[in-house]
Protein backbone atom coordinates (compact mmCIF):
# COMPACT_ATOMS: atom_id res chain seq x y z
CA UNK A 1 0.00 0.00 0.00
CA UNK A 2 1.33 3.42 -0.96
CA UNK A 3 2.11 5.88 1.80
CA UNK A 4 -0.04 9.02 2.07
CA UNK A 5 2.75 10.96 3.80
CA UNK A 6 4.59 11.95 0.64
CA UNK A 7 4.17 15.59 -0.35
CA UNK A 8 4.30 14.85 -4.06
CA UNK A 9 2.02 13.17 -6.58
CA UNK A 10 2.10 9.55 -7.73
CA UNK A 11 1.07 10.86 -11.17
CA UNK A 12 4.68 11.82 -11.85
CA UNK A 13 5.60 8.18 -12.56
CA UNK A 14 4.98 7.79 -16.30
CA UNK A 15 5.62 4.95 -18.74
CA UNK A 16 9.11 6.14 -19.72
CA UNK A 17 10.14 8.80 -17.19
CA UNK A 18 9.14 11.13 -14.36
CA UNK A 19 7.07 14.18 -15.27
CA UNK A 20 4.92 16.64 -13.28
CA UNK A 21 4.16 20.22 -12.26
CA UNK A 22 6.67 21.82 -9.86
CA UNK A 23 6.34 21.98 -6.85
CA UNK A 24 2.87 20.48 -6.32
CA UNK A 25 3.50 17.20 -8.18
CA UNK A 26 7.29 16.96 -8.33
CA UNK A 27 9.56 18.63 -5.77
CA UNK A 28 12.72 18.25 -3.70
CA UNK A 29 11.25 15.47 -1.56
CA UNK A 30 10.47 13.43 -4.67
CA UNK A 31 13.94 14.13 -6.07
CA UNK A 32 15.78 13.03 -2.91
CA UNK A 33 13.77 9.83 -2.55
CA UNK A 34 14.00 8.98 -6.26
CA UNK A 35 17.79 9.37 -6.16
CA UNK A 36 18.09 7.13 -3.14
CA UNK A 37 15.64 4.59 -4.62
CA UNK A 38 17.55 4.41 -7.92
CA UNK A 39 20.75 3.53 -6.06
CA UNK A 40 18.94 0.84 -4.11
CA UNK A 41 17.19 -0.60 -7.18
CA UNK A 42 20.46 -0.86 -9.11
CA UNK A 43 22.26 -2.21 -6.02
CA UNK A 44 25.01 0.38 -6.38
CA UNK A 45 27.61 0.22 -3.65
CA UNK A 46 30.23 2.67 -2.44
CA UNK A 47 32.54 3.92 -5.15
CA UNK A 48 29.93 3.63 -7.94
CA UNK A 49 28.99 6.73 -9.94
CA UNK A 50 25.78 8.27 -11.29
CA UNK A 51 25.99 11.01 -13.93
CA UNK A 52 23.43 13.79 -13.47
CA UNK A 53 22.63 16.53 -15.97
CA UNK A 54 19.93 19.19 -16.05
CA UNK A 55 18.17 21.56 -18.40
CA UNK A 56 17.62 25.31 -18.04
CA UNK A 57 14.22 25.19 -16.29
CA UNK A 58 14.03 27.55 -13.33
CA UNK A 59 13.69 24.73 -10.79
CA UNK A 60 16.12 22.21 -12.29
CA UNK A 61 19.03 23.27 -10.07
CA UNK A 62 16.94 22.92 -6.88
CA UNK A 63 15.87 19.44 -7.95
CA UNK A 64 19.52 18.61 -8.71
CA UNK A 65 20.62 19.49 -5.16
CA UNK A 66 18.00 17.20 -3.61
CA UNK A 67 18.53 14.41 -6.14
CA UNK A 68 22.30 14.48 -5.60
CA UNK A 69 21.80 14.34 -1.83
CA UNK A 70 19.58 11.30 -2.23
CA UNK A 71 22.18 9.53 -4.37
CA UNK A 72 25.14 10.36 -2.16
CA UNK A 73 23.24 9.33 0.98
CA UNK A 74 24.27 5.75 0.16
CA UNK A 75 27.92 6.54 -0.46
CA UNK A 76 27.53 6.66 -4.26
CA UNK A 77 29.30 9.40 -6.23
CA UNK A 78 27.42 11.97 -8.29
CA UNK A 79 29.14 13.21 -11.45
CA UNK A 80 27.61 16.62 -12.13
CA UNK A 81 27.78 17.31 -15.87
CA UNK A 82 25.86 20.57 -15.43
CA UNK A 83 23.60 22.14 -18.02
CA UNK A 84 23.34 19.76 -20.95
CA UNK A 85 21.06 18.15 -23.51
CA UNK A 86 19.55 14.74 -22.89
CA UNK A 87 21.66 13.16 -25.62
CA UNK A 88 24.74 14.53 -23.84
CA UNK A 89 23.65 12.72 -20.66
CA UNK A 90 23.23 9.46 -22.58
CA UNK A 91 26.66 9.94 -24.13
CA UNK A 92 28.36 10.72 -20.82
CA UNK A 93 26.85 7.70 -19.06
CA UNK A 94 27.92 5.24 -21.77
CA UNK A 95 31.20 6.84 -22.87
CA UNK A 96 32.71 7.23 -19.40
CA UNK A 97 31.18 3.96 -18.16
CA UNK A 98 29.21 5.44 -15.29
CA UNK A 99 26.86 3.07 -13.50
CA UNK A 100 23.74 5.12 -14.23
CA UNK A 101 22.60 8.49 -15.50
CA UNK A 102 19.74 10.89 -14.70
CA UNK A 103 18.65 13.86 -16.79
CA UNK A 104 16.55 16.48 -14.99
CA UNK A 105 14.18 17.77 -17.66
CA UNK A 106 10.55 17.93 -18.69
CA UNK A 107 11.59 17.88 -22.35
CA UNK A 108 8.95 19.69 -24.44
CA UNK A 109 6.47 20.39 -21.63
CA UNK A 110 5.50 23.95 -20.54
CA UNK A 111 7.66 25.84 -18.00
CA UNK A 112 5.74 24.79 -14.88
CA UNK A 113 6.72 21.15 -15.50
CA UNK A 114 9.88 19.28 -14.61
CA UNK A 115 10.94 15.65 -14.53
CA UNK A 116 13.68 13.05 -14.92
CA UNK A 117 14.86 10.52 -17.47
CA UNK A 118 16.86 7.50 -16.30
CA UNK A 119 19.45 5.16 -17.81
CA UNK A 120 21.57 2.45 -16.29
CA UNK A 121 25.05 1.35 -17.46
CA UNK A 122 25.70 1.71 -21.22
CA UNK A 123 22.79 4.19 -21.40
CA UNK A 124 20.22 1.38 -21.22
CA UNK A 125 16.86 3.05 -20.45
CA UNK A 126 14.90 2.54 -17.25
CA UNK A 127 11.16 2.73 -17.87
CA UNK A 128 7.93 1.35 -16.48
CA UNK A 129 8.72 -2.19 -17.62
CA UNK A 130 12.41 -2.08 -16.73
CA UNK A 131 12.55 -0.72 -13.21
CA UNK A 132 10.55 2.47 -12.81
CA UNK A 133 7.70 0.66 -11.04
CA UNK A 134 10.18 -0.85 -8.60
CA UNK A 135 11.72 2.59 -7.99
CA UNK A 136 8.24 4.00 -7.31
CA UNK A 137 7.59 1.26 -4.77
CA UNK A 138 10.89 1.97 -2.99
CA UNK A 139 10.14 5.70 -2.94
CA UNK A 140 6.83 5.08 -1.20
CA UNK A 141 7.48 2.08 1.04
CA UNK A 142 11.16 1.92 1.98
CA UNK A 143 11.57 3.11 5.59
CA UNK A 144 15.33 3.59 5.27
CA UNK A 145 14.83 6.04 2.40
CA UNK A 146 12.21 7.93 4.44
CA UNK A 147 14.63 8.14 7.40
CA UNK A 148 17.42 9.45 5.18
CA UNK A 149 15.11 12.13 3.82
CA UNK A 150 14.19 13.21 7.36
CA UNK A 151 17.87 13.55 8.23
CA UNK A 152 18.34 15.60 5.05
CA UNK A 153 15.52 17.92 6.13
CA UNK A 154 17.11 18.24 9.57
CA UNK A 155 20.47 19.13 8.02
CA UNK A 156 22.16 16.20 9.70
CA UNK A 157 23.99 14.90 6.63
CA UNK A 158 23.08 11.70 4.91
CA UNK A 159 26.26 9.72 4.38
CA UNK A 160 27.27 7.09 6.88
CA UNK A 161 29.06 8.87 9.67
CA UNK A 162 27.09 12.05 8.87
CA UNK A 163 29.83 13.30 6.55
CA UNK A 164 29.01 16.08 4.15
CA UNK A 165 27.21 14.75 1.06
CA UNK A 166 28.81 17.34 -1.19
CA UNK A 167 32.18 15.57 -0.88
CA UNK A 168 30.74 12.85 -3.11
CA UNK A 169 29.88 15.27 -5.92
CA UNK A 170 32.38 16.00 -8.68
CA UNK A 171 31.96 18.14 -11.78
CA UNK A 172 32.69 16.86 -15.29
CA UNK A 173 32.80 18.88 -18.51
CA UNK A 174 31.71 16.53 -21.29
CA UNK A 175 31.09 19.08 -24.06
CA UNK A 176 34.38 18.66 -25.96
CA UNK A 177 34.12 14.88 -26.08
CA UNK A 178 30.44 15.07 -27.01
CA UNK A 179 31.21 17.43 -29.90
CA UNK A 180 33.85 15.03 -31.24
CA UNK A 181 31.41 12.14 -30.90
CA UNK A 182 28.52 13.66 -32.83
CA UNK A 183 30.82 15.06 -35.52
CA UNK A 184 32.08 11.50 -36.12
CA UNK A 185 28.73 10.74 -37.80
CA UNK A 186 29.63 12.98 -40.74
CA UNK A 187 32.77 13.64 -42.78
CA UNK A 188 33.38 17.15 -41.46
CA UNK A 189 36.83 17.38 -43.05
CA UNK A 190 35.40 16.69 -46.49
CA UNK A 191 32.49 19.10 -45.98
CA UNK A 192 34.81 21.88 -44.81
CA UNK A 193 37.28 21.46 -47.69
CA UNK A 194 36.81 24.73 -49.55
CA UNK A 195 38.56 23.51 -52.70
CA UNK A 196 36.67 20.22 -53.05
CA UNK A 197 33.36 21.39 -51.59
CA UNK A 198 32.89 25.17 -51.90
CA UNK A 199 29.09 24.83 -51.87
CA UNK A 200 29.07 23.77 -48.19
CA UNK A 201 30.08 27.28 -47.13
CA UNK A 202 26.94 28.57 -48.82
CA UNK A 203 24.60 26.25 -46.92
CA UNK A 204 22.37 28.30 -44.62
CA UNK A 205 20.94 26.48 -41.59
CA UNK A 206 18.12 28.18 -39.71
CA UNK A 207 17.98 26.53 -36.28
CA UNK A 208 15.26 27.16 -33.67
CA UNK A 209 16.31 26.13 -30.15
CA UNK A 210 13.02 27.28 -28.59
CA UNK A 211 15.04 28.74 -25.65
CA UNK A 212 15.98 25.14 -24.81
CA UNK A 213 19.29 23.33 -24.47
CA UNK A 214 20.07 23.43 -28.20
CA UNK A 215 20.98 27.06 -27.54
CA UNK A 216 23.97 25.81 -25.56
CA UNK A 217 24.93 22.80 -27.65
CA UNK A 218 24.38 23.83 -31.28
CA UNK A 219 26.89 26.74 -31.34
CA UNK A 220 29.63 24.40 -30.02
CA UNK A 221 28.89 21.90 -32.80
CA UNK A 222 28.57 24.37 -35.66
CA UNK A 223 31.76 26.17 -34.62
CA UNK A 224 33.49 23.20 -36.28
CA UNK A 225 31.59 23.56 -39.57
CA UNK A 226 31.94 26.18 -42.29
CA UNK A 227 28.27 26.35 -43.21
CA UNK A 228 26.25 29.31 -41.92
CA UNK A 229 24.25 28.83 -38.73
CA UNK A 230 21.33 31.25 -38.32
CA UNK A 231 20.19 31.01 -34.68
CA UNK A 232 16.63 31.44 -33.46
CA UNK A 233 15.66 31.56 -29.77
CA UNK A 234 19.14 30.44 -28.62
CA UNK A 235 18.92 32.24 -25.26
CA UNK A 236 18.49 29.68 -22.48
CA UNK A 237 15.24 30.55 -20.72
CA UNK A 238 13.13 28.05 -18.80
CA UNK A 239 10.11 30.34 -19.15
CA UNK A 240 10.12 29.80 -22.95
CA UNK A 241 9.19 33.39 -23.87
CA UNK A 242 9.15 32.83 -27.63
CA UNK A 243 7.08 29.63 -27.89
CA UNK A 244 6.70 26.26 -26.17
CA UNK A 245 9.61 23.86 -26.90
CA UNK A 246 7.52 21.27 -28.78
CA UNK A 247 8.01 21.64 -32.56
CA UNK A 248 5.58 18.80 -33.25
CA UNK A 249 2.77 21.30 -32.50
CA UNK A 250 2.26 23.53 -35.60
CA UNK A 251 1.74 26.66 -33.49
CA UNK A 252 5.26 26.33 -32.08
CA UNK A 253 6.95 26.28 -35.47
CA UNK A 254 5.04 29.16 -37.06
CA UNK A 255 8.00 31.55 -36.86
CA UNK A 256 10.59 29.23 -38.36
CA UNK A 257 8.15 28.19 -41.10
CA UNK A 258 7.48 31.87 -41.94
CA UNK A 259 11.20 32.62 -42.18
CA UNK A 260 11.81 29.56 -44.37
CA UNK A 261 9.01 30.66 -46.70
CA UNK A 262 10.80 34.02 -47.05
CA UNK A 263 13.89 32.15 -48.29
CA UNK A 264 16.17 33.00 -45.36
CA UNK A 265 17.82 29.55 -45.33
CA UNK A 266 18.27 26.29 -47.20
CA UNK A 267 17.07 24.11 -44.33
CA UNK A 268 15.17 24.75 -41.13
CA UNK A 269 15.80 22.66 -38.00
CA UNK A 270 13.63 22.93 -34.88
CA UNK A 271 14.78 21.27 -31.65
CA UNK A 272 12.67 20.29 -28.68
CA UNK A 273 13.53 21.51 -25.18
CA UNK A 274 16.03 18.82 -24.18
CA UNK A 275 17.37 18.11 -27.71
CA UNK A 276 16.61 14.42 -27.94
CA UNK A 277 14.43 15.25 -30.96
CA UNK A 278 14.67 17.52 -33.97
CA UNK A 279 12.31 18.39 -36.81
CA UNK A 280 12.90 19.64 -40.34
CA UNK A 281 11.30 22.38 -42.44
CA UNK A 282 12.22 22.22 -46.11
CA UNK A 283 13.37 25.01 -48.43
CA UNK A 284 9.74 25.82 -49.32
CA UNK A 285 8.71 26.23 -45.71
CA UNK A 286 6.94 22.87 -45.49
CA UNK A 287 7.19 20.69 -42.40
CA UNK A 288 8.57 17.25 -43.29
CA UNK A 289 6.94 14.38 -41.34
CA UNK A 290 9.20 12.20 -39.20
CA UNK A 291 8.50 9.03 -41.17
CA UNK A 292 9.72 10.62 -44.40
CA UNK A 293 12.87 11.76 -42.58
CA UNK A 294 13.26 8.19 -41.26
CA UNK A 295 13.10 6.92 -44.85
CA UNK A 296 15.76 9.41 -46.00
CA UNK A 297 18.13 8.50 -43.16
CA UNK A 298 17.51 4.78 -43.69
CA UNK A 299 18.49 5.19 -47.33
CA UNK A 300 21.61 7.11 -46.30
CA UNK A 301 22.80 4.45 -43.84
CA UNK A 302 21.97 1.49 -46.08
CA UNK A 303 23.80 2.95 -49.08
CA UNK A 304 26.76 3.79 -46.87
CA UNK A 305 26.80 0.24 -45.49
CA UNK A 306 26.62 -1.25 -48.98
CA UNK A 307 29.55 0.91 -50.08
CA UNK A 308 31.62 -0.06 -47.05
CA UNK A 309 30.70 -3.71 -47.58
CA UNK A 310 31.88 -3.60 -51.18
CA UNK A 311 35.14 -1.96 -50.14
CA UNK A 312 35.87 -4.31 -47.23
CA UNK A 313 35.15 -8.04 -47.43
CA UNK A 314 37.33 -8.97 -44.46
CA UNK A 315 34.55 -9.67 -41.94
CA UNK A 316 34.48 -13.44 -42.14
CA UNK A 317 31.91 -13.72 -39.35
CA UNK A 318 29.23 -11.89 -41.32
CA UNK A 319 26.71 -14.23 -42.85
CA UNK A 320 26.10 -13.72 -46.52
CA UNK A 321 22.32 -13.63 -46.00
CA UNK A 322 22.36 -10.96 -43.27
CA UNK A 323 20.65 -7.70 -44.09
CA UNK A 324 21.23 -4.43 -42.21
CA UNK A 325 18.21 -3.67 -40.05
CA UNK A 326 16.18 -0.47 -39.71
CA UNK A 327 13.44 -0.03 -37.10
CA UNK A 328 10.29 2.04 -37.65
CA UNK A 329 7.13 2.53 -35.60
CA UNK A 330 3.57 1.32 -36.24
CA UNK A 331 2.40 4.82 -37.23
CA UNK A 332 4.86 5.21 -40.09
CA UNK A 333 4.21 5.60 -43.79
CA UNK A 334 4.86 2.74 -46.19
CA UNK A 335 7.64 5.00 -47.46
CA UNK A 336 9.91 3.70 -44.70
CA UNK A 337 9.45 -0.02 -45.30
CA UNK A 338 9.57 0.35 -49.08
CA UNK A 339 12.73 2.48 -48.94
CA UNK A 340 14.49 0.02 -46.63
CA UNK A 341 13.62 -2.98 -48.78
CA UNK A 342 14.56 -1.16 -51.98
CA UNK A 343 18.01 -0.56 -50.46
CA UNK A 344 18.46 -4.22 -49.47
CA UNK A 345 17.73 -3.73 -45.79
CA UNK A 346 15.38 -5.41 -43.33
CA UNK A 347 12.58 -3.25 -41.90
CA UNK A 348 11.09 -4.13 -38.52
CA UNK A 349 7.84 -2.55 -37.29
CA UNK A 350 8.00 -1.46 -33.64
CA UNK A 351 5.81 -0.45 -30.75
CA UNK A 352 6.02 3.29 -30.06
CA UNK A 353 8.45 4.28 -27.29
CA UNK A 354 12.17 4.83 -26.82
CA UNK A 355 12.64 1.93 -24.38
CA UNK A 356 11.29 -0.56 -26.92
CA UNK A 357 13.40 0.87 -29.74
CA UNK A 358 16.62 0.86 -27.73
CA UNK A 359 16.15 -2.73 -26.61
CA UNK A 360 15.41 -3.90 -30.16
CA UNK A 361 18.33 -1.86 -31.54
CA UNK A 362 20.63 -3.93 -29.33
CA UNK A 363 18.96 -7.25 -30.07
CA UNK A 364 19.01 -6.77 -33.85
CA UNK A 365 22.23 -4.75 -34.02
CA UNK A 366 20.11 -2.36 -36.09
CA UNK A 367 21.99 0.37 -37.91
CA UNK A 368 19.23 2.96 -37.41
CA UNK A 369 15.71 3.46 -36.09
CA UNK A 370 13.20 6.26 -36.43
CA UNK A 371 9.87 7.30 -34.96
CA UNK A 372 7.23 9.59 -36.48
CA UNK A 373 7.57 11.76 -33.35
CA UNK A 374 11.12 12.84 -34.28
CA UNK A 375 13.13 10.35 -32.21
CA UNK A 376 16.04 8.92 -34.25
CA UNK A 377 18.24 6.10 -32.91
CA UNK A 378 21.79 5.25 -33.99
CA UNK A 379 23.79 2.10 -33.39
CA UNK A 380 27.04 4.05 -33.03
CA UNK A 381 25.38 6.38 -30.53
CA UNK A 382 25.08 3.59 -27.95
CA UNK A 383 21.70 2.76 -29.60
CA UNK A 384 20.31 6.02 -28.22
CA UNK A 385 18.28 8.84 -29.72
CA UNK A 386 19.74 12.25 -30.41
CA UNK A 387 18.56 15.58 -31.76
CA UNK A 388 22.01 16.79 -32.80
CA UNK A 389 23.09 13.80 -34.93
CA UNK A 390 20.08 13.98 -37.30
CA UNK A 391 20.72 17.70 -37.81
CA UNK A 392 24.32 16.96 -38.83
CA UNK A 393 23.32 14.09 -41.08
CA UNK A 394 20.79 16.28 -42.88
CA UNK A 395 23.29 19.00 -43.71
CA UNK A 396 25.74 16.35 -44.97
CA UNK A 397 23.04 14.76 -47.14
CA UNK A 398 22.05 18.14 -48.61
CA UNK A 399 25.68 18.84 -49.44
CA UNK A 400 26.57 15.39 -50.81
CA UNK A 401 23.49 15.05 -53.00
CA UNK A 402 23.76 18.53 -54.46
CA UNK A 403 24.81 18.84 -58.10
CA UNK A 404 26.70 21.40 -60.15
CA UNK A 405 27.96 23.28 -57.13
CA UNK A 406 24.53 23.63 -55.56
CA UNK A 407 23.05 22.37 -52.32
CA UNK A 408 20.35 19.73 -52.70
CA UNK A 409 16.85 20.80 -51.73
CA UNK A 410 15.00 18.82 -49.08
CA UNK A 411 11.71 19.49 -50.89
CA UNK A 412 13.10 17.63 -53.91
CA UNK A 413 14.50 14.75 -51.82
CA UNK A 414 11.08 14.05 -50.29
CA UNK A 415 9.21 14.57 -53.56
CA UNK A 416 9.62 10.83 -54.26
CA UNK A 417 7.18 10.25 -51.41
CA UNK A 418 4.41 12.31 -53.06
CA UNK A 419 2.34 9.18 -53.73
CA UNK A 420 2.13 8.41 -50.00
CA UNK A 421 -0.95 10.14 -48.61
CA UNK A 422 -0.74 10.27 -44.83
CA UNK A 423 -3.44 11.52 -42.46
CA UNK A 424 -1.17 12.55 -39.63
CA UNK A 425 -2.17 11.67 -36.07
CA UNK A 426 -5.87 12.17 -35.32
CA UNK A 427 -6.96 11.98 -31.66
CA UNK A 428 -10.45 10.96 -30.56
CA UNK A 429 -11.82 11.23 -27.04
CA UNK A 430 -13.09 7.74 -26.17
CA UNK A 431 -14.03 6.75 -22.62
CA UNK A 432 -13.95 2.99 -23.28
CA UNK A 433 -10.85 2.60 -25.40
CA UNK A 434 -10.81 -1.19 -25.22
CA UNK A 435 -14.38 -1.45 -26.47
CA UNK A 436 -13.57 0.81 -29.44
CA UNK A 437 -10.58 -1.35 -30.36
CA UNK A 438 -12.81 -4.43 -30.16
CA UNK A 439 -15.15 -2.79 -32.70
CA UNK A 440 -12.17 -2.25 -35.00
CA UNK A 441 -11.12 -5.89 -34.59
CA UNK A 442 -14.61 -7.05 -35.46
CA UNK A 443 -14.71 -4.87 -38.57
CA UNK A 444 -11.19 -5.39 -39.87
CA UNK A 445 -9.91 -8.52 -38.17
CA UNK A 446 -9.42 -11.68 -40.25
CA UNK A 447 -12.74 -13.44 -40.78
CA UNK A 448 -13.27 -16.12 -43.41
CA UNK A 449 -16.89 -15.09 -43.88
CA UNK A 450 -16.26 -11.54 -45.08
CA UNK A 451 -14.19 -9.58 -47.59
CA UNK A 452 -11.83 -8.30 -44.90
CA UNK A 453 -9.99 -11.61 -44.92
CA UNK A 454 -7.43 -10.10 -47.29
CA UNK A 455 -6.25 -7.64 -44.63
CA UNK A 456 -3.16 -8.18 -42.52
CA UNK A 457 -3.79 -7.43 -38.86
CA UNK A 458 -1.12 -6.72 -36.23
CA UNK A 459 -1.42 -6.11 -32.48
CA UNK A 460 2.09 -4.76 -31.79
CA UNK A 461 0.74 -1.47 -30.38
CA UNK A 462 -3.03 -1.17 -30.41
CA UNK A 463 -4.36 -2.48 -33.72
CA UNK A 464 -2.75 -2.13 -37.15
CA UNK A 465 -4.60 -3.19 -40.30
CA UNK A 466 -3.01 -3.31 -43.74
CA UNK A 467 -4.66 -3.66 -47.15
CA UNK A 468 -2.98 -3.41 -50.55
CA UNK A 469 -3.99 0.22 -51.01
CA UNK A 470 -4.41 1.57 -47.47
CA UNK A 471 -3.48 0.85 -43.86
CA UNK A 472 -3.97 2.30 -40.41
CA UNK A 473 -2.93 2.04 -36.77
CA UNK A 474 -5.08 2.89 -33.75
CA UNK A 475 -3.36 2.96 -30.37
CA UNK A 476 -4.30 4.05 -26.86
CA UNK A 477 -2.90 7.08 -25.08
CA UNK A 478 -1.06 6.13 -21.88
CA UNK A 479 -2.34 9.12 -19.93
CA UNK A 480 -5.59 10.37 -21.50
CA UNK A 481 -8.94 8.92 -22.68
CA UNK A 482 -7.76 9.14 -26.27
CA UNK A 483 -7.36 6.82 -29.23
CA UNK A 484 -4.78 7.91 -31.77
CA UNK A 485 -5.38 7.16 -35.45
CA UNK A 486 -2.71 7.23 -38.16
CA UNK A 487 -3.83 6.24 -41.65
CA UNK A 488 -2.30 6.14 -45.12
CA UNK A 489 -3.73 5.42 -48.58
CA UNK A 490 -2.52 5.44 -52.17
CA UNK A 491 -4.73 8.42 -53.06
CA UNK A 492 -5.81 11.57 -51.25
CA UNK A 493 -9.46 10.76 -51.90
CA UNK A 494 -9.20 7.27 -50.42
CA UNK A 495 -7.25 8.54 -47.44
CA UNK A 496 -10.00 10.99 -46.52
CA UNK A 497 -12.74 8.41 -47.08
CA UNK A 498 -11.02 5.78 -44.94
CA UNK A 499 -10.30 8.27 -42.15
CA UNK A 500 -14.04 8.96 -41.92
CA UNK A 501 -14.78 5.24 -42.03
CA UNK A 502 -12.37 4.34 -39.22
CA UNK A 503 -13.35 7.35 -37.09
CA UNK A 504 -16.98 6.32 -37.46
CA UNK A 505 -16.15 2.94 -35.90
CA UNK A 506 -14.02 4.47 -33.16
CA UNK A 507 -16.80 6.87 -32.20
CA UNK A 508 -19.48 4.18 -32.65
CA UNK A 509 -21.56 6.20 -35.10
CA UNK A 510 -24.69 4.32 -36.13
Q: Which positions are annotated as active-site residues?
A: 107
Identify whether 23 is preceded by a cis peptide bond (ω within 30 of 0). Answer: yes
d(CA 407, CA 413): 11
Pairing of strands 456-458, 325-329: unpaired
d(CA 351, CA 330): 6
Q: Under a CB-based contact definition with an 8 Å cutoff, are residues 356 and 129 in contact?
A: no
d(CA 418, CA 15): 35
What SS3 state is found at 388?
helix
With CA atoms as reference, report the closest residue to 277 among 183, 362, 212, 219.
212
Contacting residues for 404 by C-beta, under 8 A, at least 6 apart: none
Q: Under a CB-based contact definition with an 8 Å cutoff, are residues 485 and 502 in contact?
A: yes
The separation between CA 4 and the C-alpha centre of its own chain, rounded to angstroms, equals 34
With CA atoms as reference, report the closest residue to 370 among 255, 293, 310, 266.
293
Q: What is the DSSP string of 58-101?
A: TTHHHHHHHHHHHHHTTT-EEEEEEE--HHHHHHHHHHTT-SEE
What SS3 state is found at 507?
coil
With CA atoms as reference, report the closest residue to 110 among 274, 233, 239, 275.
239
d(CA 233, CA 367): 33
d(CA 388, CA 384): 12
Q: CA angle, corner 224, sides to 288 and 300, nearest 5?
A: 40
Cα first-last separation, the chain = 44
Contacting residues for 69 by C-beta, under 8 A, at least 6 apart: 32, 35, 152, 158, 165
Q: Under a CB-based contact definition with an 8 Å cutoff, are residues 323 and 346 in contact?
A: yes
**HEC assignment per residue over 413-455:** HCHHHCCCEECCCEEEECCCHHHHHHHHHHHHCCCCCCHHHHC
Amino acid sequence: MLSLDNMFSQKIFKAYDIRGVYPTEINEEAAFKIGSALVKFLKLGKGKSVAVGRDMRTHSHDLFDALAAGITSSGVFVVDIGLCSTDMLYFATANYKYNAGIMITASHNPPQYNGMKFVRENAIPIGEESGLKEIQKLVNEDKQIAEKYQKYLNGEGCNEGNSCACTNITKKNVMDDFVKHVLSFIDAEKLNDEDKNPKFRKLRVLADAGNGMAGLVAPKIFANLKCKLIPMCFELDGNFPDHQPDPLVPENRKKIVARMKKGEADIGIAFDGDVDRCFFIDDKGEFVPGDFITALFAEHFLKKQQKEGNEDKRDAKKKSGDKPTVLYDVRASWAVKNTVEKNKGKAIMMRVGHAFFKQKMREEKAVFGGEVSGHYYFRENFNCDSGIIPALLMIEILSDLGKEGKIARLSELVAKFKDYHVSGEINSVVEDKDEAIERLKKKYGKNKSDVNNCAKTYFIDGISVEYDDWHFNVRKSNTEPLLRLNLEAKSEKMMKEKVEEVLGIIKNRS
